[in-house]
Structure formats: C-alpha cells, structure tokens
Amino acid sequence: MGCGCTLWAALFLEQVVPSTACTYVESVYSGQERIIGRTMELGQEPAHITNWQFQVHPRGENFVKSLTPGVERAVELTHVSKYGYVSIDFDIPRIEIPIFGVNQSLATFGYSPSDGMNEHGLTISGNKFNMAGFQKSCLLDPSKERVWQWKFVQWVLGEFQTIGELLEKLEHTCVHNDWIIPSSFDGFHWALTDMTGRSGVIEYEDGELHYYENKVGVLTNDPSYPWQVMNLNQYPFVSPLWPTGNMPPGAGTSAKVEVSTDEAGAVPNALISPRPGKKGGSHGFNLRGLPGDLTPASRFVRTFFLKQYANQEAPWKTEQEGVAGVKGLLNGAWITKGTLASAGTPLDGAFEAEYTPWTVVKVPKLRHFYFSSYMNPRWQFVNMTRLDFGVEHQPIQVEVPSELGFYDLTEDANQSKKRSVLV
C-alpha cells in the first residue's frame, strides 16, 4: 500500500513545479504607522491553485487543521477559530490516494488562507520555502497539538493576537507537512507582524523551529532568512546619493574620466552640467549593480534597498502615499506570464509556470486590507472595522482571467469644455 501511495503522489508532483517566488515587504508611513505588502506567485495550472478568493472568516469558524496518519484512513483534527479575519485563500489540490483499491481523498480541506490579517491586527504572509523541513517525529505525540503547514496561516489568524502568544504555543505544537509528499515540494515559511510592533519570520528546517526578528522588513524564498540578510552585505556600492563621477587609476579624488570615440562622441556621465558643449545628465547610476533578475535572493536585495532609499529620500506621509509606494516596490518583483523559465516535468505535461496572480497591501492599525490581481490592477479595498465577524460570508473571486479591470474614461474625456459667458 505504501508504495502505491508514494508512486501516485510522485506522479502528481511531476505535474506541479514548486513555486519559488513570493515577495514580502514592510515599511512605515507618517513616520511610524506600519504598512505591509506582498506578491503571490503560486500560480501553476495543473495544481488548480489559481482560483484565488478573498474571504471573510467569522469567529467560531470550524476547519480541519491536521491529519493524523493511519493504516486505512486519515483521522481529521478540527479546530474552532477564536477571532475573525480576512485572507486571500486558495483551493488545496485534491490528491486521490488508492488504498486497498479504494480512492480516498488525502486532502479534503477546501480553501486555505495564504495571507491575511485578523481583527486584532496580527498579520501573516506565507511564502514558498523549498528548504523547509517540518516536524515528523512528533506526529503521534498526544501531548502536542498538530497543525498541517498548509493550514498554518488559518490557525494563526484565528487563534492568536500577538507573535509572543504564537511562539509560546509553538513550543508545544507539531507543525508538519504531508507524510507522503516531501516538504521540499510544498514547504512554506511565514512573515508575521502584530500590534506590539513586533515583526518576525518563522521557518522550519530539519524538523526544528527557527524564529527570527525581521529587522530588515523583507522576505522572499530560498535560501533561509539569515542567509538573505547576510547577502545584503554584498552590495556596499549601492547608494542613495547622486554619483560624482569616476576616476582613472592613480588619480586624485578631483579627477574625472572623459572617454570618447569618433563614432559615439563623449560617453555621458551622471553629472548634469549647463556648460556649453557638455554632454551627459542621466540618472539611476546610484542603483547600478542592484540585481534585476527574479531569483529570491535578487528580489530580497532589490526590495530592501529600494524600500530603504524611498523612506530616506521621500518618506511617505499618508496612507495613500504608503499604498502607492508599497505597490511600486512590489512592481519590482512582479512576474509577467511566460517570462519565468520552467524546470520541465518528466511527464512533459502542459502547465503554466508561475506568475503574479495578485498583490496585497495591509495597514494593521487601521485594519485596512487592499488587493489587486494580474488582470485587474485597480485596488479592491476592505475596511475590517466595518465587517461583521459574527456571520458567514460569501467569498469574492480575486482573479477573473476573462475580465480586464479598468475604468472607461471615454465619456469623461468627451465632455466639451464649458465656457463662462461674461455679462
């Protein structure tokens, strides 16, 4: 039986190339109010996880948070949420496992949150993390609460007000992945913030819990968070200041290089000069050397430096400026369909490589939640303080592939100018 299950799961995984791209960033506006943004790139067609929906989750919601492995069937472990929250959810793929000739569903969890904020301002963002190694040895330990890592976001948002509460509980909790599918295929790590001002990252490696204070306010994917932070030190040449020019070997600080050819003329430098005959005057040289590719390490570096410089040179004063600024940072991590190469599949099945199906911006103090999608870049806005967390709500589809979200300005633009008549 075990071999049959593993073989089926392997065939499924051959059709699902693991997502490697999600970008999380947090900053402030008005000098102190936290604002959070993230992109999601978990969007491959064969796994049927592109059907994202915005969901209001009420207090007292029942959900299945774990499965305990059994010989003939899986024993479901349910949980009841204490707090209401909003989230972007995805439909967990159904994996039919043949056991003794009977097809049983391994995952009957329904939709599962990937990013959200609860009524107490606790936020969490789940990012793909292929290095994840969850806890397996404690699965049958009756003294520990069990949480499947795909349901971790749902459990956290419905159960805790602060990161401190969560960390205390995790000391007595078994966070596990599926016992058949390797966590390298379905692993996550999480960025969290709360209203105490705390910001952190939770990762599981080799079965051990690791918690890091997120002092840089960024999270992407592999490698682990400490490696990504250390890698920032490889970019000391990036600067928020306008460059003053370069120097030839052995020259003093006042010398400038002026290189020219008959065909091209003088090579423009970064300096803008009003003097006659002086060419040049460009921009962006202070960021020269920032990586421009879409690897997790490059997105981490690029997002961090751009965020820091934006706050230093033109700090956001209002929520509106903050939302626009965070959106601008996320645009730097945006993945257009078809641009990211696929690793391929052994069965050569048709699939759609990852892209950016949606982005989110959260303002914890105000309980404001914004989201936009690939086809509809217009912000959708929810004020959580006006939501009723005592009732169930209908989900709202986040991405509608056949509908391009826009405002038709034609009639407004077609209005004739009204001239005042002097009497």
Q: Which residues fall within 8 angstroms of residue 240, CB to CB, at 6 or more apart?
A: 286, 308, 309, 312, 313
b or e along 242-279 (b: 16 or more beta carbons within 10 Å of the residue's beta carbon)?
Answer: eeeeeeeeeeeeeeeeeeeeeeeeeeebbeeeeeeeee
Per-residue pLDDT of the chain (423 residues), as tens digits, is 334 343 334 334 434 444 457 999 999 999 899 999 999 986 554 444 568 999 999 999 999 888 765 433 456 688 999 999 999 998 765 554 444 443 344 445 578 999 999 999 999 999 999 899 999 888 778 889 999 998 999 999 999 999 999 999 999 999 998 766 665 567 899 999 999 999 999 999 999 999 999 999 999 999 999 999 999 999 999 998 877 665 445 545 444 555 555 665 555 566 666 666 555 566 777 888 899 999 999 999 999 999 999 999 999 999 999 999 999 999 999 999 888 776 655 444 444 567 899 999 999 999 999 999 999 999 999 999 999 999 999 999 998 888 888 889 999 999 988 766 665
Task: For tokens 């490889």, name the residue.
Answer: 234
Q: Of 323, 316, 283, 287, which is closest to residue 302 (Cα–Cα)?
A: 287
Task: For tokens 């600024």, name the residue.
Answer: 325
Would you give the DSSP letter of residue 250? Answer: T
Q: Give the pLDDT confidence score for residue 244 in this predicted structure.
A: 67
Residue 386, domain extent: 2-238+336-404
Q: Which residues pair with 37 in a beta bridge?
A: 25, 361
Element (DSSP H or E) covering residue 260: strand 260-261
Task: For tokens 């209002």, name the residue.
Answer: 318
Q: Give the pLDDT confidence score for residue 286 in this predicted structure.
A: 83
Inside any domain, residue 265: no
Q: Of 111, 53, 62, 110, which is closest to residue 82 (Cα–Cα)?
A: 62
d(CA 384, CA 157): 14
Q: Which residues fall within 8 angstroms of residue 22, CB to CB, at 6 or more apart?
A: 38, 39, 40, 41, 42, 125, 126, 127, 128, 220, 221
Inside any domain, residue 211: yes
Would you give the DSSP letter of residue 216? Answer: S
Inside any domain, residue 91: yes
pLDDT (tens digit, 9 = 90+) per residue, 274-302? 666 555 566 777 888 899 999 999 999 99
Inside any domain, residue 287: no
Task: For tokens 């020019």, name the residue.
Answer: 245
Would you give the DSSP letter of residue 101? Answer: T
Distances (CA, A) of 79 to 69, 173, 175: 18, 14, 14
Q: Which residues pair with 98 in a beta bridge?
A: 103
Task: For tokens 């078994």, name the residue.
Answer: 174
- Number of helices and strands in the chain (H, E): 8, 22
Q: Pairing mode, if any, of strands 96-99 and 102-105? A: antiparallel
Task: For tokens 């000069």, name the residue.
Answer: 273
Instruction: Report the amino acid identity of residue 97.
Output: I
Q: Of 372, 366, 356, which is closest to residue 42 (Cα–Cα)?
A: 356
CATH code (residue 118): 3.60.60.10
- Report the alpha-carbon angle 73-78-79, nearest 5: 160
- Name the strands in the sheet holding 218-219, side by side, starting at the edge strand that comes first in the sequence: 218-219, 22-29, 33-40, 358-363, 368-373, 380-383
Inside any domain, residue 164: yes
Q: Give the pLDDT confidence score for residue 4 in this predicted structure.
A: 37
Whole-number CA gyration radius for the chain = 25
Q: Pairing mode, if any, of strands 53-57 and 111-118? A: unpaired
Q: Is 150 helix (H, G, I), strand (E, B) or coil?
A: helix
Q: Give the pLDDT confidence score for residue 370 in this predicted structure.
A: 98
d(CA 239, CA 245): 13
Instruction: Report the amino acid identity of residue 364.
Output: P
d(CA 198, CA 283): 37
Instruction: Report the amino acid identity of residue 275.
Output: R
Omega prior to 223 cis, within 30 of 0: yes
| Residue 197 · residue 122 · CB < 8 Å | no
Inside any domain, residue 413: no
Q: Give the pLDDT confidence score for residue 339 in this predicted structure.
A: 85
Inside any domain, residue 421: no
Would you give the DSSP letter of residue 28? Answer: E
Inside any domain, residue 220: yes
Compute φ and ψ for 360, nearest 5 degrees.
-135, 145
Q: Which residues fall within 8 angstroms of residue 149, CB to CB, at 6 or more apart?
A: 132, 134, 175, 176, 177, 183, 186, 187, 188, 204
Number of domains in the chain: 1
